[in-house]
């Protein structure tokens, strides 16, 4: 079973955030170890995670969403510096037999992320 899936929707434009870069890091104390980098696909799901359940272990992770870069690609007017450039969301994995789905809804000015079904 896939341990983690991430789905990103750009609610400012009413579409999935296709092309947005997403990084996942594993946190241990003050160290952050890169786990995987993916891109939001046509279906809104971040590629690079499918079939990589062995990348994850019990612990704390950090999702890094490259929001500013995504909106710059769309030529969305942003201030300099952007209000949200790389947005970070920390989450914990306690039970690897479960699936952790992280739906993200975003605009250039804010986002919502939670554990979905």
**pTM, full prediction:** 0.92
Please count the residues of the chain: 117
User: For the chain, percent helix, then strand, then coil, each to nearest 5?
Assistant: 10, 50, 40
- What does the block give as tokens for 13? 């434009």
Sort strands 31-39 and 59-66 into parallel, antiparallel or unpaired: unpaired
Question: What is the predicted pLDDT for the residue at 52?
Answer: 57
| 86-114 pLDDT tens trace | 999 999 999 999 999 999 999 999 999 99
Return d(Cα 98, Cα 68) in angstroms, integer: 32
- The whole-number average pLDDT for the span 66-82 is 96
- The whole-number average pLDDT for the span 73-96 is 95
**Phi and psi based region of residue 51 (left: phi greater than 0; alpha: psi -120 to 50; beta: remaining):** left
């Amino acid at each position: 079973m896939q341990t983690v899936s991430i789905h990103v929707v750009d609610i400012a434009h009413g579409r999935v955030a296709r092309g947005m870069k997403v990084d996942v890091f594993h946190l241990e104390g003050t160290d952050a170890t890169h786990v995987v980098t993916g891109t939001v696909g046509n279906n809104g799901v971040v590629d690079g995670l499918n079939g990589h359940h062995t990348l994850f272990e019990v612990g704390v992770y950090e999702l890094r969403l490259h929001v500013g870069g995504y909106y710059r690609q769309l030529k969305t007017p942003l201030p300099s510096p952007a209000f949200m450039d790389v947005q970070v969301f920390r989450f914990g994995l306690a039970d690897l037999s479960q699936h952790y789905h992280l739906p993200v809804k975003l605009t250039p000015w804010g986002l919502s992320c939670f554990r979905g079904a």
